[in-house]
Amino acid sequence: MPFFNNYPMIAALSAIIITQIIKIPVAFILGRPTSLALATSTGGMPSSHSAGVTALITSLIIKEGMESPFVAIAATFGVIVIFDSMGVRRQSGEHGILINELIADFENLRKMIVNLGQDGSKSVKEMIDETKHSKEFLGHKPIEVFFGILSGILIALGIHIFY
């Protein structure tokens, strides 16, 4: 099958899958809440975004050489993905935290109004439950990206042994 003969593709996808799975024991070791849902979540240690693009770049360097235009394309793409995972997506996650805190504050305010004798028709919590809760962990800290990059390189080198 041609797909399984594509070393860069296998290295990149394997890096993403392996780092997503690794998030569970890493969270446990770091004393953070753990669940199987971590394997499909965004954010966390290590960064699967960084691991995937780094494995792709590493495998292309091994297969095509540093002078390859494929390496240039992958490296440019990789830099964008890594900076995005630390920048825009991280900011979105921090905004999610603030939004959730505001929602909790509104719910506390509604309870205070009800306790003062006013009637609150529908609680803020009920309105939120009808919609969606804002995700808080979307992006990565620099240390998570660093270990994602390291993981991607090591996984690409490890998979190269089989090719």
| Distance (Å) of CA 131 to CA 41, 109, 126 | 20, 20, 9
- Is 134 found in the same domain as 57? no
- Is 81 found in the same domain as 118? no
- Is 94 found in the same domain as 23? no
Instruction: Name the average pLDDT for the chain.
Output: 81
Name the residue with higher pLDDT: 111 or 14.
14
What is the arithmetic mean of pLDDT over 104-126? 62
- Is 71 found in the same domain as 32? yes
What is the arithmetic mean of pLDDT over 24-50? 83
Copy the structure tokens of residue 98.
Answer: 């603030």
With tokens 């240690």, the residue in question is: 45
Closest CA relative to residue 94, chosen from 32, 36, 157, 136: 136
Residues present in the chain in total: 163
- Is 128 found in the same domain as 94? yes
Q: Specify which of 87-91, 143-147, 151-155 reaches the highest per-range mean pLDDT.
A: 151-155
Beta strand segments in the chain, E: none
- Please state, in angstroms and rounded to a whole number, the distance separating the CA atoms of residues 120 and 100: 20
- Is 161 found in the same domain as 83? yes
What is the arithmetic mean of pLDDT over 27-53? 84
- Is 107 found in the same domain as 28? no
Name the residue with higher pLDDT: 66 or 108.
66
| Distance (Å) of CA 120 to CA 87, 107, 116, 127, 130 | 39, 11, 11, 12, 17
Query: Confidence band (pLDDT; 50, 70, 90) for 126?
Result: low
pLDDT of residue 116: 57
Query: Confidence band (pLDDT; 50, 70, 90) for 88?
Result: low
- Is 129 found in the same domain as 148? no
- Is 2 found in the same domain as 65? yes
- Is 102 found in the same domain as 46? no
In angstroms, how far is CA 153 from the centroid of its own chain? 18
- Is 63 found in the same domain as 98? no
Task: Tell me: pLDDT of 159 over 60.
Answer: yes
Domain total in the chain: 2
With tokens 């780094």, the residue in question is: 54
- Is 78 found in the same domain as 5? yes
Task: Tell me: pLDDT of 124 over 60.
Answer: no
Could you tell me the residue range of the domain that residue 106 belongs to?
Answer: 90-138
> How many CA atoms lie within 13 Å of 126's alpha carbon, on the beta-carbon side?
6
